[in-house]
């Protein structure tokens, strides 16, 4: 019996595993099948790749004190 198709919400939840290649092969295939039929999730995946690439270039010295404070505050709000 084959696994059910992934939903868009599941794709969003699994995108990090997909990009880090830690997803099992069967799930990776289901993920790819979903992307082949879902332009919105394909766009989301590309946005995540771009975000990872761009943030990987960012150094602490690139941020002003206001930006650092705003990021810390955003993280604190998210954690609540």
- pLDDT tens for each residue of 12-47: 999 999 999 999 999 999 999 999 999 999 999 999
How far are the Cα atoms of 7, 18, 68 from residue 72, in angstroms, in the given order? 32, 27, 6
Residue 52 lies in a domain: yes
Handedness of CA 33, 34, 35, 36 (dihedral sign): positive
Phi-psi region of 43 (alpha: psi -120 to 50; beta: other; left: phi over 0): alpha
Residue 3 lies in a domain: no
Residue 64 lies in a domain: yes
Residue 37 lies in a domain: yes
Residue 28 lies in a domain: yes
56 confidence band (pLDDT: 50, 70, 90): confident
Domain tally, the chain: 1
Residue 16 lies in a domain: yes
How buried is residue 23: exposed, middle or buried, by Cβ count under 10 Å (0-12/13-18/19+)?
middle
Residue 2 lies in a domain: no
Residue 30 structural domain: 8-79
Residue 75 lies in a domain: yes
pLDDT of residue 59: 84
């Amino acid at each position: 019996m084959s696994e059910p198709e992934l939903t868009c919400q599941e794709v969003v939840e699994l995108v990090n595993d997909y990009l880090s290649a830690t997803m099992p092969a069967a799930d990776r295939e289901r993920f790819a099948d979903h992307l082949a039929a879902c332009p919105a999730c394909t766009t989301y995946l590309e946005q995540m790749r771009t975000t990872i690439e761009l943030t990987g270039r960012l150094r602490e010295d690139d941020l002003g004190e206001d930006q650092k404070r705003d990021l810390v505050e955003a993280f604190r709000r998210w954690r609540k």
